[in-house]
């Protein structure tokens, strides 16, 4: 479920087809995101899942799977 929601957020921010986005996709290298795009994606994730991702944790998010793992960790500790 998280993957589908994240795909929607990423595809909206980066104007990509959601089918092009998989857990192994790297935001910068594979999806062409820049730092502002990543910021917008993180903000979208925070809003969608009603969570807060700390800046130092956000900096560690390189792949879509990293984002999923971080969401699950924050939700587990909520």
- Residue among 30, 34, 37, 69 flagged as catalytic: 34
50 is a catalytic site residue: no
Structure tokens at 19: 């089918």
Asked whether 37 and 13 are in contact (CB, 8 A), the reply is yes
Q: State the Cα–Cα distance between residues 75 and 38, nearest whole angstrom.
A: 20
Does the CA dihedral 34-36-39-44 come out positive or negative? negative
Residues 3/18, Cβ–Cβ less than 8 Å: no
- Catalytic residues, by residue number, are 34
């Amino acid at each position: 479920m998280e993957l589908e929601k994240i795909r929607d957020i990423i595809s909206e921010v980066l104007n990509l087809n959601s089918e092009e986005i998989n857990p192994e996709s790297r935001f910068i290298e594979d999806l062409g995101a820049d730092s502002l795009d990543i910021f917008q994606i993180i903000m979208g994730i925070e809003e969608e899942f009603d969570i807060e991702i700390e800046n130092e944790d956000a900096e560690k998010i390189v792949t879509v799977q990293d984002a999923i793992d971080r969401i699950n960790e924050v939700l587990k500790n909520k």
